[in-house]
Amino acid sequence: MDKKFKFNWGAGTILLGFVLLFFILAGRFFYIAYGKQVQDVDLKAYAEHKWTRHKVLEATRGTIFDRNGNPIAEDIPSYTVIAVLDPKDPAHIKDPARAASQLAGVLAADESEIEKSLSKKGRYQVQLPGGRKISNKDKEKIEKMDIQGIDFIPETKRYYPNDNFASHVIGYTNEDNKNNISGVLGLEKTLDKYLKESNGSLTFKSDTKGIELPNPQEQMKKPKDGANVYLTLDEKIQTLLEQAMTKADDKYHPQAMIGIVADPKTGKILAMSDRPSFNPNKREIKDFTNTAISYPYEPGSTMKIFTLAAAIQEKVYNGNETYKSGQYKIPHNRPISDHNKVGWGTITFDEGVENSSNVLFSKLAREKLGYDRFYSYLKKFGLDRPTGIDLPNEKAGKILYNYEIEKLTTAFGQGTTVTPIQQIQGATAIANGGKMMRPFVINKVVDPSTKKTLLSHQPEVAGTPISEETAKQERNILEKVVTKGTGKPFQIKGYSVAGKTGTAQIVDKETGRYASGSGQNVFSFMGMAPKDDPKLLMYVGVIRPQLEAGQLGSAPVSDIFTSVMKNGLQYMEVEPDGTDKEQKEKDSSVMLSSFIGSNHEAVSKALEKAKMRPVVLGSGATIEAQLPEAKSNVLPGERVLLKTSGNVQMPDVTGWSKADVLKLAKMLNLKISVKGTGFANSQSLQKGMRLKANDDLAVTFAEPSMDDVDLSQNKKPKKEDRP
């Protein structure tokens, strides 16, 4: 008997389910295989993303150099501190409290803040607070702590090696939250399009561990470093100015100060500083104004330089002509008085200039020149408009010339306002045979890769307001101001100085009247030296210094001027032109020969005989490189670096100048980090340590007192030689 077939509904349901699932999966497989999409995810793109690695190739912001190639603003190596927290990693932070206690002494953060960061859960690693872009010196301090789990990410940071140094001229940079650096003040801002770098990138295929695949398909975008900027500033003259102004600031505590040193033959600004200033590495800024170019004020008697020049040029000035000093009465106005109120009786015009007589200069403007002709010379000297200097935010003063009293006071520097840089430009005509030179600070901008000059500024004649003969005659008269008149404190032993003092009143903002009392003035001096062929032109202004009873306002001004001018002329090897010529430095500069291939012992003896200071680097006998290079002029006492073959050991650089340390780094291809100004007093690589290329060398510098520095020999005197 046949059995009757029975359908198993349970097994059928399961079978049907498997069949449906098979067709769903098969359909999905073909959809993915041909469509390459999973829930709107492009699988090919996803795989590319998983296999592809991206690496940033960092570029460097352009360096700002002085005229001799010394860095003023540069990118230097720095390090960001990170900590590994993941317990699965053998090298992780095990004791957050202890590590925080150690690190708090170095990082710019509180111990509790660091410990909180080190105690975060579920993080593989963290960047420590206060650990962003620390110096090489701080990195070494942390390394000596030997804290397991601490590591460093190499980076760069913007660094200003001279600290407080032409700060309003150079400016500084800021970094946004995307690590983009931009200039925000001074030349860092206005030249940002040239200085700005462009990072590159490297893209390649790798496995999950980051190891390149056999066919990595590398794509590279090269990084582009920013262009380098070369200024007209001279590091040594700028340092002289900074030191002198700091010394005066500490002694007299003025409201503000301005100092400008220029080459009158070219208009190049060799130094420019003001107070209050700031350290761009710290950015504790009280005033963002570059007073030298953006702060017009009544100049006082330095304005008489231009009134005198106009009178000489128009042949209406006779130095032997006499007049009655004291007061000058004009119709319908109060009389003009000399600064001592009573004058000096009947004196010559030359004596009037020597004593800075307001009466004389009023007579020159009103009776000799006439107001229209005098005004035309104010315009010829550029006192009615900005100079066009290549610095941001220049402002011009205002010539008050509506009423007769304003025309008279303008002749001796009251009422009308000008800026220090306007006065410097005008005074170049006196120092430069009648040719007025436009001031400038930027020499050139150069692409570091192509060496192409992207921007270049050349000396430019801004006008010829007077003749060469007029300029010569005025310098002779202004020399007598210094030797016989109000400028006596500005005499420099061995050098003839031509110049004019200034004492200007300041309007009280609350009362609208001139402030009264001791020191409530702008004290200034415009001077040039040597008188017959000026190599340096300098303006110094000191606003409201705190003077002791009986102390003259010229004291802080002359302290700055005489120190900077004398040392600056000696540094430039300008021979004394006065009665002290026999006291000039007997040793002259020497042009170096090529020492390549010579025995270092013989060369060292020859250099020592010429009063040079040879430094041999290497254990070999034959010289392979030298700095300064052949045909360079060097002064007695200057270091000459001689590199030989063999192992090179680190020398003791204590007492070395920054220029010498930078020469050492250049010759040995070291990564240099410098801090401070003056002379070296500590180094990260100890004496005798064997050196190799790309070693990190950090050197700190300290400033000796100004009297300790012999700039003519570029060396630091021994302690026993100091006064």
Tell me: the pLDDT tens digits for 90-101?
889 999 999 999
At residue 2, the pLDDT reads 52
Is 201 known to be catalytic? no
Q: How confident is the model at residue 631 (pLDDT cuts 50, 70, 90)?
A: confident
Q: Please write the tens of the pLDDT for every residue from 499-519.
A: 999 998 887 777 777 777 777
At residue 531, the pLDDT reads 97
Q: Indicate the residue type of 527.
A: G
Strand positions, DSSP E, 222-266: 228-231, 256-262
Q: Please write the tens of the pLDDT for every residue from 645-666.
A: 888 999 998 888 888 888 898 8
At residue 122, the pLDDT reads 87
In terms of C-beta density within 10 A (0-12 exposed, 13-18 middle, 19 or more buried), how is residue 378 classed? buried
Domain map of the chain by residue range?
19-54, 56-159, 235-577, 590-721
Q: How far apart, in whole angstroms, are the C-alpha atoms of residue 640 and residue 629?
A: 9
CB < 8 Å & 24+ apart, contacts of 252-256 = 252/542, 252/545, 252/546, 252/547, 252/555, 252/556, 253/545, 253/546, 254/542, 254/543, 254/544, 254/545, 254/546, 254/556, 255/543, 255/544, 256/291, 256/295, 256/542, 256/543, 256/544
Report CA torsion sign: 7, 11, 15, 21. positive
At residue 506, the pLDDT reads 85
More confident site: 239 or 215? 239
Q: pLDDT averaged over the chain? A: 87
Cβ distance 545 to 463 under 8 Å? no
At residue 332, the pLDDT reads 85
Q: How far apart, in whole angstroms, are the C-alpha atoms of residue 722 and residue 708?
A: 6
Q: Please write the tens of the pLDDT for every residue from 128-169.
A: 999 988 988 899 999 999 999 999 988 889 999 999 999 999
CATH of 590-721, one of 3.40.50.970, 3.30.10.20, 1.10.443.10, 3.40.50.2000: 3.30.10.20
Q: What percent of the chain has pLDDT over 90?
A: 63
More confident site: 694 or 718? 694
Q: How far apart, in whole angstroms, are the C-alpha atoms of residue 187 and residue 627?
A: 31
Q: How far apart, in whole angstroms, are the C-alpha atoms of residue 292 and residue 283?
A: 20
At residue 577, the pLDDT reads 84
At residue 107, the pLDDT reads 92
At residue 23, the pLDDT reads 72
At residue 711, the pLDDT reads 38
Q: Is the pLDDT of residue 585 over 80?
A: no
Helices 304-313 and 420-431, axial angle in degrees (round to 10): 40
Q: What is the average per-residue pLDDT within 392-411?
A: 96
Fold held by 56-159: Alpha-Beta Plaits (3.30.70)
List the 613-617 sheet strands across, edge first: 613-617, 639-644, 623-627
Instruction: Tell me the C-alpha to C-alpha distance, in Å, between residue 387 and each of 168, 291, 309, 467, 525.
Output: 18, 15, 19, 21, 20
At residue 515, the pLDDT reads 77
Q: Could you tell me the end-to-end alpha-carbon distance of the chain, in angstroms, rounded to an integer?
A: 137
Q: Please write the tens of the pLDDT for every residue from 295-348.
A: 999 999 999 999 999 999 999 999 999 999 999 999 888 899 998 889 999 999
**DSSP class of 369:** I
Residues paired with residue 527 on neighbouring β-strands, in sequence order: 499, 538
In three-state secondary structure terms, 94 is coil
Cβ distance 292 to 541 under 8 Å? no
In terms of C-beta density within 10 A (0-12 exposed, 13-18 middle, 19 or more buried), how is residue 190 classed? middle
Catalytic residue among 301, 496, 604, 673: 301
Q: How confident is the model at residue 39 (pLDDT cuts 50, 70, 90)?
A: low
Q: How far apart, in whole angstroms, are the C-alpha atoms of residue 662 and residue 660?
A: 5
Cβ distance 462 to 373 under 8 Å? no
Within this chain, domains 56-159 and 590-721 share the same CATH topology:
no
At residue 187, the pLDDT reads 98
Q: Is the pLDDT of residue 576 over 70?
A: yes
CATH 3.40.50.970 assigned to domain 235-577? The reply is no
Of 363, 353, 361, 359, residue with least CA distance to 486:
353
More confident site: 40 or 523? 523
Q: What is the average per-residue pLDDT within 401-418?
A: 96
Question: Residue 652: what are its φ and ψ, rounded to 5°?
Answer: -80, 115
Q: Please write the tens of the pLDDT for every residue from 432-460.
A: 999 999 999 999 999 999 999 999 999 99
Instruction: Tell me the C-alpha to C-alpha distance, in Å, between residue 609 and each of 600, 612, 639.
Output: 14, 7, 13
Q: How confident is the model at residue 719 (pLDDT cuts 50, 70, 90)?
A: very low
Cβ distance 523 to 551 under 8 Å? no
At residue 52, the pLDDT reads 56
Q: How confident is the model at residue 17 (pLDDT cuts 50, 70, 90)?
A: confident
At residue 723, the pLDDT reads 24
